[in-house]
Structure formats: structure tokens, C-alpha cells
Structure 1
Amino acid sequence: MAGENNWLDMLKKAEKVCLDKDGYRKVHYRFDGGNEMVEEYNLQTNVLTRRAWKRVQTIGGQGTWEVELGDPEPSTLTSTNLEIKESSVTPFVTKRLTKSSIEWRIRNLPYPLAVYSVTADPENMSITVRTSNKKYFKVLPVPDLQRVGLQPTQKNISVTHQYNTLIITYLKPQQVLLLEKNVLDEVKKLKTAKDDGQYYRMSSPVCSALGIDLDDISGKLVAIAEHHGSDANFVLSCLIAERIQKKSGICLLALHNTFGHYHNVGMKLGYNLQKLKEKKSVQTIELLKLVSNIHNDSREIKDERFDILAEDKEEIVKKLFFMVKILVDQLQTTNKSVCLVIDDISDLLTWGISVKEVCSFLQYCRTF
């Protein structure tokens, strides 16, 4: 009971924003200490279909989303359009909930059922999967039980195998069912944000607190500084959402994170940068693509290349400015205003560009 109360109390105390979209209720939690959690509930069945965590890193830097429930994020390492992916035949785990059970599906396991041993490990609060041929081993944590202070028991486990997939089912104890009901009751009470089809309005209070929620910030320079290992990525994403809500075009100069990163964050917050790019409301330049000789999106800048280590740094700054200007001019033809977003201007320093040249670049950009 104590564990149940701790989990429920933590959810109640968290900052929450709720959005109903595409048949799902999406809830974004922000906890004391900076950890974030996103949940999605099927509005027809009231079953939780997805839960992902973004935890603050102890040494600073940008954390990544860890999926606890639902399909895992694609395991891809990418800083350009060149991607390194896991083999398509590598076993991977998907966890899902039904009204009565917790289920894990481990795909790409071709061995017959008799090869597998699935055992409860009460000491480590987990379920262990191993094969007699020693080809596969996996520890499955069961946070659903930890939250109610229970240990996994063997009698609740059942196992089947079909289509190269091992299916492990754990029958939910009554305490888990009760906690899920209590959490669902709280989720149903949440006031949902108005959804205009694209935007998550959690950005408004953040931008309002920072004084950047005005309809017109034309000609203004908004600088977001990071101190003591903090991460301004969340604030920057809120700024992007706020500007899009104001029907402003976005020119994203990505010096640190990729466009794919901001698209993924936007999808979790409720807006789709890829669709906005197709509508000519968003344009992007990714420095790593330029350095790696990968095409950027705009036809006018697709042939721009430079060796950032060898070329004159002042010339690089000028080139970068003219690329930005081309995209801003394009956006101004279809949008009433344009916001230039630079992430992260200090990254230019790591490429050997001086503080003086960075300041010159910012002065150039303010001439639009």
C-alpha cells in the first residue's frame, strides 16, 4: 500500500499537461528534479498503451527517451542522413498491458518453446529469460509490481511461442489493478488542452513566464543560457511551439541537435515539424550535414559545402549567414513573420570559430 501511495502521490504532485488526440489521451508529466514522463491511454479501452521516461543525467547533457511500455524507439545512431541500425534479426522486447495482464513479446527468437526458461526473480524484482542453448538471456524488470511493493511470483507467469516470438504473460495482482484504476481516475479528471490539430499548449505558460509570448517579437534577440549542467532543450521546444501557434515560420539552424531530434520532441509534445516543413512553414540547416557533404533541404543551398576545419572562419560565418538568409527570405513569402532558432550558438566555438566571429554572425542575422 505504501508503494502504491508513493506512486500515486508522485503523479498527483507532478506538473501535468493533457491532450486528447487521434483516439488517445496523452499526458506529459514533469517531476521535481527535472525527470519527465509521457503516457498514452486508449480512449476506447482506457488501457495504458505507452509510457516513456526522460531522466536527468547526473553529468549533464541531453537525456534520451527510454520506453517502459509500448514499441521501443528505433535503435539508430545518426547525426546525418547516414544511419547505423541494429540488425533486423536482433531479438527485441515490446511490453504492453491488457486489462488483466502484463505482456512481453520478444521477437526474432526462432527456438522451440522447450528451449526457453522463464523464471520469477523476487530478489531482483524481475523476470529472467534464458535459453538452454545459451543463445539468449534477458532480465525483464517489472516496475508495475515494484510500485505496489510486490515481488514477482512464478505462478502468475505463463509462456507461449509462435511466429518466432516468445510471449510472456504475467497475471496482474489485485493491488496492481487497484493502482491502475486510481491512476486512471486521476487521468480522467485532467483538463485537456485545446488542440488545433498540431500544437501542445504546454508551451504557453513557459513562454509567458519568460516574457516571450507576445504576438510580435520581430527584431528581438532571445538568448537562452544554460548554467550548472542544465539543459535548455525543453524551453527551446516550447519557444518553437509558441511561435508556430502564432503562425510564424521557423528557420532552424541546427548546430547541436538534428532536425530529427526536434521532430521527435515535437511529436511527443503534439506538433509535427516534418508536416510543417512540407507546408513550407519550417526550413532547416544542419551543420553536420554541411560538414559531411550531405544535402540540406533547400534547393538553393544544396550545393553548399565547406571544410570547417580548413576554410577561413570568417568566410564560413558569411556562408552560413547567406544560407540562413535564403531560407528566411523563402519563409517570408508564405508566413506573416519568421523566427530564426539557433541551437546551439556556442557550438560554433568548438569548431574553432572565435567569439568575435560568432558575435558578427548574430549581428548579420539581426539585419533581416
Structure 2
Amino acid sequence: MDPRVSNPVLSSLNIKPEDKIIFIQENSFADSNFIITHLIKQLLYDKSRACVLTLHNTVEHYQNVGKKLGYDLNQAIQKGEIRIIDPMEELVANIGLNEEDPRSRLLTCLYAALKTHIEQFLLQKEQPVYLIIDDLSHFLDLGLGIPAIINFTNLFINLTSDKNIFAVINSHVSSKSDLIVADSLHYICDLYISVSPLKTGKSSDVSGLMTIQRGEDENRYHFRTFDRGVKTFHPGESIYNLYK
């Protein structure tokens, strides 16, 4: 069965073939990682391929969450369905190649690694390839400047000019610099997903607010995270949906 039929998150997102660039903005203390883990579930079901740049969560994290959602990430990696790009491994592998600032060198190495993995995927057969970044804002934490990050992101997004390549970018926003990077992506994405904490504070029934914007259309959902998944529901319907 298509997981979108029975999965509240995937049903709410309703990813379409024309959603070439998907941007997930994580605001303040909210955690939007559940969107990426659910998207991976859908990608594996659809027989798509994915390159995941892990700047925030580890492979072990995705494996543990994936098992709860019904997929085995390690198995997918072994089968060549998913490729993980570890920024530290890429940087260490290229140390000493030139005198460039190691932080700037990191972006060069990561882009080269992404292109290599994509080209290998595309040689196999015509099928969707998703490029996933979790989480872009960590480049700012490493001391990289906004222009360098936006330039890297533009190169990354330009790859989606190929009909079979799609981009999924997650970025946390808690500072002015974070917001500048996020706004640049919000402006060009096909699907914008914002995950925020409740303005009224913590609730035992609601974990946060998810806003989904596609063009002029906007839908808002409250969500509640559980140990083995996430439930979404329209604002005001929390009791009905949680205990139905």
C-alpha cells in the first residue's frame, strides 16, 4: 500500500512530481526532522534514489527512526538506494590538496561528492534522484559566510535542471543570518514547509504547527509526535483526531 494513504504526514505533504525544490524551515525550538524521515520512507517505496548530506543528524539516528516507520536505512544503503555524504569524511579525505581555507574547501568537496553520486545514480537507469541536506544552517555554525552558503545552495539547486533530480533542503532559523539564508530558499522553492512551536507554549496534545505552502495555496496543520510516528490534524481538531 502506498504509505501516503495511511501516513498522516505524507498525506498532508502530498508531494507532487512538479515539486522540484522542497524547502523545510525549522523555526526556533521546533524539530522538523520527522518530515525528512517520512520523505525517505516515501522515496524508498517509490523506488527513487537519494543522496543525504548529514550535517545534523547521524546515520544511526535515521536508522533508528526508519525502523520505527517501517524501513531499514542501512539495508537501503547496502543496496545502493541511498548514499550518505558525511562532511567530515569528505574534508579529511581532501586535506592538503591545496592552500584553500578548510571551511571553504568543505563546500567544494561536498559539491564534488554530490555530483559524483548523482552521476552514478543517473547511469543506472532513469529514476528520480533526491538530494537531501540536513541541516543547511550548520554551515553558519562552522563560520562560513552567507554569500558562500548561498552560492553553494545555488549550485546544488542548479542540478535540478535535470528532469530526474530533486532537492530537499532543511534549515534551522534562530538568528538573522539563518533567516537570510532561509528567505533566499523560500523565494525559489516549489514547496515550502514551515515547522514552528506553538505560540502559546507547550501542550500535552500538540507538538507544533506545520505550514505547507505551494504557490498561492497554504495549508496549516497541528502535529503531535509519538514514539513511532507523527499525527497531523487541522487546528481545532486535536482532540477528535488524537483519540479517534
Please tell me the TM-score bracket, short chain as reference: 0.5 to 0.7
Q: Residues 281 and 224 (structure 1 numbering): CA distance in 2 closer, same or farther, change over 3 Å?
A: same
* CA deviation string 1:133-175 (max 9, x = no partner): xxxxxxxxxxxxxxxxxxxxxxxxxxxxxxxxxxxxxxxxxxx
Q: Residues 361 and 203 (structure 1 numbering): CA distance in 2 closer, same or farther, change over 3 Å?
A: farther
Q: Residues 266 and 359 (structure 1 numbering): CA distance in 2 closer, same or farther, change over 3 Å?
A: same
Match of 1:285 among 82, 85, 92: 85
Matches within 5 A, 1:191-210: 194=1, 204-210=7-13
* CA deviation string 1:83-119 (max 9, x = no partner): xxxxxxxxxxxxxxxxxxxxxxxxxxxxxxxxxxxxx
How much has 1:255 moved relative to structure 2? 0.6
Residue type matched to 2:38 in 1? C
- TM-score where L is the length of structure 2: 0.57
**Corresponding pairs, count:** 156
* CA deviation string 1:210-245 (max 9, x = no partner): 342x2x246x22111112311011111011111222
* CA deviation string 1:249-304 (max 9, x = no partner): 0100001111121112111111011111111111011123345x4xxxxxxxxx43
Q: Which has the higher contact order (CA 8 A, sep 6+)?
A: 2
How much has 1:208 moved relative to structure 2? 3.4
How much has 1:353 moved relative to structure 2? 1.0
**Distance (whole Å) between structure 2 residues aligned to residue 210 and residue 201 of structure 1:** 9
**Distance (whole Å) between structure 2 residues aligned to residue 311 and residue 290 of structure 1:** 15
Report what 1:362 is aligned to: 153
Secondary structure at the counterpart of residue 333 of structure 1: helix
CA contact (8 A) 2:51 2:82 kept: yes
CA contact (8 A) 2:66 2:72 kept: yes
**Distance (whole Å) between structure 1 residues aligned to residue 40 and residue 107 of structure 2:** 24
Point out where structure 1 has 5 or more consecutive residues left out of the alignment: 1-193, 294-302
Matches within 5 A, 1:250-265: 250-265=50-65
Point out where structure 2 has 5 or more consecutive residues left out of the alignment: 160-244
Secondary structure at the counterpart of residue 124 of structure 2: coil
Report what 1:353 is aligned to: 144
Secondary structure at the counterpart of residue 27 of structure 2: coil
Secondary structure at the counterpart of residue 266 of structure 1: helix
Match of 1:321 among 90, 95, 111: 111
CA RMSD between the two structures: 2.6
CA contact (8 A) 2:90 2:110 kept: no
CA contact (8 A) 1:255 1:345 kept: yes
- TM-score where L is the length of structure 1: 0.39
CA contact (8 A) 2:55 2:134 kept: yes
Secondary structure at the counterpart of residue 224 of structure 1: strand
Larger Rg over CA atoms? 1
Secondary structure at the counterpart of residue 252 of structure 1: strand
Match of 1:266 among 63, 66, 78: 66
How much has 1:332 moved relative to structure 2? 1.9
